């Protein structure tokens, strides 16, 4: 039997789905959530006329520097690689968080939208903060809303998808 708590629901689902099965379902939910996060972000850019964030590229540069790796190429080729790697980090984070939520679901824990939002915010902004790419303490209210709304959309889609897969 499932027990509802403020952080989510604990208990087994009605289906006998394996650990790998839940991980894959979570990854698929994460991919769907990442798609919605990107749509909400691009709509915000189109409506407000704001530029894309440079934090993914800066994160890739800092990670490469920290790991003592060189991103090959000069000029446009190197910049294109950094931009592509920056976009991939977001996709990997979104699918990865979904996969981890699938693992949690396999153990009987069901994270709600709020906890999923907090998890994805920490998992994406945490590393960038540690690397010195951003400092959320200096963000304006508009900055926070611009970051929170797409992550909330991600969490709503991931949670809804996971719940649908557990019927």
- Structure confidence at residue 118 (pLDDT): 93
Mean pLDDT on 76-96: 96
pTM for the structure as a whole? 0.87
Whether residue 23 contacts residue 112, with contact meaning beta carbons closer than 8 Å, is answered with no
Give the residue among 147, 160, 76, 74 at the shortest CA–CA distance from 110.
160
What's the whole-number average pLDDT of the chain?
91
Closest CA to 29 of 120, 119, 163: 163
Q: What is the pLDDT of residues 31-44, one digit of tens each?
A: 999 999 999 999 99
The residue that leads in pLDDT, 57 or 1, is 57
Contact 102, 25 (CB under 8 A): yes
* Per-residue pLDDT tens digits for 96-137: 999 999 999 888 888 899 999 999 999 999 999 999 999 999
Is residue 20 over pLDDT 80?
Answer: yes
């Amino acid at each position: 039997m499932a027990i509802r708590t403020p952080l989510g629901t604990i208990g087994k689902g009605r289906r006998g789905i394996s650990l790998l099965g839940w991980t894959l379902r979570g990854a698929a939910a994460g991919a769907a959530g990442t798609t919605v996060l990107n749509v909400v972000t691009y709509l915000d850019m189109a409506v407000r006329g704001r530029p894309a964030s440079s934090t993914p590229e800066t994160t890739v540069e800092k990670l490469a520097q920290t790991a003592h790796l060189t991103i090959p190429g000069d000029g446009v080729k190197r910049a294109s690689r950094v931009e592509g790697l920056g976009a991939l980090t977001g996709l990997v984070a979104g699918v990865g968080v979904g996969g981890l939520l699938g693992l949690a679901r396999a153990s009987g824990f069901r994270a709600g939208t709020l906890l999923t939002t907090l998890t994805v915010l920490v998992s994406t902004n945490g590393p960038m903060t540690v690397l010195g790419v951003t400092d959320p303490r200096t963000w304006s209210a508009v900055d926070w809303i611009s970051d929170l709304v797409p992550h909330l959309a991600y969490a709503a889609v991931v949670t809804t998808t996971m719940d649908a897969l557990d019927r």
